[in-house]
Amino acid sequence: MGIALATEDFNKGYSFSIDETLGDYGHCFPAKLITSFVRDNSNVSGKIRATIKNRSRFWNLNHCKDDVEKILHTEKIELQTKQSLETSFGNAVTDCFKIAFDQKKFANEFYSTVTNKFSNEEWEFALVKGLKCIFPDPIIVERTGGPAEKDHGTDILIRLPGLLGFQYLIAIQVKDYSGPVGKAPIKQITKADHFWNDDNCRVIDKYLIITKANRKDNASLIESANGVKIIFAHELQELLTVIGKSYLGLQLG
């Protein structure tokens, strides 16, 4: 399929006679090919596909003006890939939901609601529930806070399976703090390396989640991180958004 530009006026250029070069072709009209496309390409609208079925030699395409413009403004290489109707339908659902779903508003509202609803160790239960939505079986997410925390400094432990029963661990410390945060939480979570590492397990990452503190207020904490990844309020809002969408079964960017 293609889009061509007429090179002569219709009354002058149109010819009913058989073209001597092309052979058995009548009703010829001079035109220059501008671009070509695959009929089932994702950039080709249903209107275009419908009008192509017209058996007339010439017909009015004004109702497809915007659709033609879209094709003309798309790189030719992007017009050559065929897309199934099933994929087209799925993309239509996803694209429309992205437009209707106000992700920024959802992120702000969800973070605000969760922050008001949970405090202190309640965050551990909430995050365990949420992280299980992101990490399906066989990955294990468990709450490890409690009396033994003084030894391992870990509120939440994520166990990723390796070979022959070996496990890779992600240790998380959660603090429901706001404002400037001291260095004690860093010291706390670093206990995870000594406590959890053995012949069958290895800590591959350590996180400190601070629910209400901002990055800009904690330059000294960041400097003393010593390999610990710190999630402040803004990053926690992003994480909660991922958790919320996963909980609802949404796969949006």
Task: Tell me the pairing of strands 156-161 and 140-143.
Answer: antiparallel
Which residue intervals of 73-102 are DSSP H helices? Answer: 85-100
Tens digits of residue pLDDT in 52-81: 877 777 788 888 889 889 888 888 887 887
Q: How far apart are the C-alpha atoms of 226 and 56, rounded to whole Å?
A: 74
What single letter denotes the amino acid at residue 76? Answer: K
User: According to the model, what pLDDT value does residue 24 have?
Assistant: 66
**CB-count exposure of residue 106 (10 Å: 0-12, 13-18, 19+):** middle
**Average pLDDT of span 191-203:** 95
Average pLDDT score over the chain? 87
Q: How far apart are the C-alpha atoms of 116 and 233, rounded to whole Å?
A: 13
CATH topology of domain 103-247: Trna Endonuclease; Chain: A, domain 1 (3.40.1350)
Higher-confidence position of 108 and 21: 108
Contact 160, 168 (CB under 8 A): yes
Strands (E), the chain: 2-6, 31-36, 140-143, 156-161, 167-175, 201-210, 229-231
pTM equals 0.64
User: According to the model, what pLDDT value does residue 4 have?
Assistant: 87
Q: How confident is the model at residue 174 (pLDDT cuts 50, 70, 90)?
A: very high
Contact 20, 28 (CB under 8 A): no
User: According to the model, what pLDDT value does residue 200 have?
Assistant: 94
Share of the chain above pLDDT 90, in %: 47
Buried b / exposed e over 157-189, threshold 16 CB at 10 Å, is bbbeeeeeeebebbbbbbbbbeeebeeebbebb
Tens digits of residue pLDDT in 85-109: 676 677 677 777 777 788 888 889 9
Share of the chain above pLDDT 70, in %: 94
**Average pLDDT of span 12-32:** 76
**Average pLDDT of span 134-160:** 93
User: According to the model, what pLDDT value does residue 227 have?
Assistant: 94
What single letter denotes the amino acid at residue 166? Answer: F
Domain range annotation of the chain = 2-98, 103-247
